[in-house]
Amino acid sequence: MDDRKSVTDQEENGYRGFEQGPIRPPSEAQSLLIRVTRNCPWNRCAFCPVYKGASFSIRPPEHVKRDIDAVHRCLALLEAGGDIAAGPADMEALRAAAHWRAMGMRSVFLQDANSLLVKPRDLAGILRHLRERFPFVRRVTSYARSHTLAVRREEDLHMLRAAGLDRVHIGLESGSDAVLARVAKGCTKAQHILAGQKARAAGFEVSEYYMPGLGGQDLSRDHAVESADALNQINPHFIRLRTLAIPNHTPLFAEWSSGRFQKCTDRMVAEEILLFLEHLQGITSVVKSDHILNLFGELEGRLPEDKPKMIALVRRFLDMTPEDQMLYQAGRRMGVFSRLDDLNDPRKRAFAAATCRRIGITPDNIDEMIDEVMKQFI
């Protein structure tokens, strides 16, 4: 489906009340979530379970502004310590307002999967309204598909930046055309690069997501090298890792179950990340690994100066004994370990080892066990 032909609900009668979509990036946990569109206009990525079965629509700008006004009203009530006699719709706004207030009210995230698909003039109007209601907000961000950014006029992107959109989160996933085609990303490496460069030129902070493991065993090398090359040409402000997991109800699960897709083990993914890091060159991005699915939660640093430190971390894991690798993999996914050094904590190590023994985890079956655990986090 071409994004530009997506269904809109501009003529829809009636306001359904304050709405929240299902997801946001991990870095937006403290943000107020304002739903500008519903679901995903593409919805075909083979690894993505989030919006399958749900149709895309653009919310009327007036409805989005009503949501913003509802939060504004709820904040005023909370501030005054007033008695809140809100209807069910406003209760959702109240919950969102209370959470945002507790988090410091610094940032706003526009949902769902591709807010840039909203007509630029409409989206700019929403952004201005948001900024007017909450002038203290420091950062407004959104997901954006490369496919959409690549076709947006430069003047429209500049208008959105001027209206108050600070950062775009882009799901690069891979820079390999072979991988992108196999997982039906609906985007080529060239489009990713053009989109990232246009977003940067318009003044946005650009946050690109790379998905370790997405190439499977056969395309792992191409995936790492081509993704690094695409990112080298974009020089995004942030490169974020989000490791592949395959939930049962995705098209990729069928490929995996039938043996057509061979998933990488954690060790293979670590080798791929090493190759990826080695190929990142000539850029000043901040690398982050802020997703619970990732093996290395502590993999973080600014390029180029922190590249040796990040590479050393991955090498350290690869040089460990199979027993220690298993303990770390299991402990990390159980939430016992947050960093490699936690293996040296006798209490944490003993707990991880006892749990592995109790549920029968060994170096030979650890990856199967991890696959099941990772599905819980999606």
Compute CA distances 138 → 67, 107, 144, 205, whole Å.
19, 6, 20, 13
Shortest Å distance, C-beta 74 to ligand SF4: 29
Compute CA distances 254 → 45, 259, 260, whole Å.
13, 9, 9
Comparison of 242 and 267: residue with beta carbon closer to ligand SF4? 242
Beta bridge partners of 266: none
As a whole number of angstroms, the distance between CA 194 and CA 141 comes to 20
Shortest Å distance, C-beta 191 to ligand SF4: 13
As a whole number of angstroms, the distance between CA 261 and CA 246 comes to 11
Shortest Å distance, C-beta 42 to ligand SF4: 4
Shortest Å distance, C-beta 50 to ligand SF4: 5
**E strand map for the chain:** 32-35, 37-38, 57-58, 107-111, 139-143, 167-173, 205-210, 238-241, 286-288, 301-302
Comparison of 172 and 356: residue with beta carbon closer to ligand SF4? 172
Helices 88-102 and 61-80 pack at an angle, to 10 degrees, of 60
Indicate the helix (H) or strand (E) that contains 315: helix 307-318
Shortest Å distance, C-beta 40 to ligand SF4: 3
Which residues contact ligand SF4 (rule: CB under 6 A)? 40, 42-45, 48, 50-51, 113, 145, 171
Comparison of 54 and 320: residue with beta carbon closer to ligand SF4? 54
Shortest Å distance, C-beta 279 to ligand SF4: 24
Comparison of 245 and 356: residue with beta carbon closer to ligand SF4? 245
Comparison of 142 and 329: residue with beta carbon closer to ligand SF4? 142
As a whole number of angstroms, the distance between CA 127 and CA 140 comes to 8
Comparison of 1 and 354: residue with beta carbon closer to ligand SF4? 1
As a whole number of angstroms, the distance between CA 304 and CA 61 comes to 42
Comparison of 261 and 328: residue with beta carbon closer to ligand SF4? 261
Q: Are 244 and 195 in contact (CB under 8 A)?
A: no
Shortest Å distance, C-beta 185 to ligand SF4: 7
